[in-house]
Amino acid sequence: MANFPAKSYIIPEPLGITLVIGAWNYPYQLSLVPAISSMAAGNTVIIKPSELLARTSAVMAKIINHNFLQNYFHVVEGGVQTTTELLDYRFDKIFFTGSIPVGRIIYQAVAKHLTPVTLELGGKSPAFVLADTDIKMTTKQIVWAKFLNPEQTCVASDYILVDQSIEDKFLIA
Q: Residue 27 is part of a domain; what is its CATH number?
A: 3.40.605.10
Q: Which domain holds residue 152?
A: 125-172
In the three-class reduction of DSSP (H, G, I as helix; E, B as strand; rest coil), residue 26 is classed as: coil
What pTM was computed for the model? 0.76
> 1: pLDDT confidence band, cut at 50, 70 and 90?
low
Long-range Cβ contact pairs of 114-118 (< 8 A, separation 24 or more): 115/90, 115/91, 116/15, 116/92, 117/93, 118/34, 118/93, 118/94
pLDDT tens digits for range 129-166:
999 999 999 999 988 888 876 666 777 788 899 999 99
Active-site residue (options: 77, 85, 151, 154) = 154
Active-site residue (options: 85, 120, 151, 167) = 120
Residues 131 and 112 in one domain: no
- The larger pLDDT score, comparing residue 155 to residue 168, is at 168
Q: Is 77 a catalytic residue?
A: no
Q: Is 167 a catalytic residue?
A: no
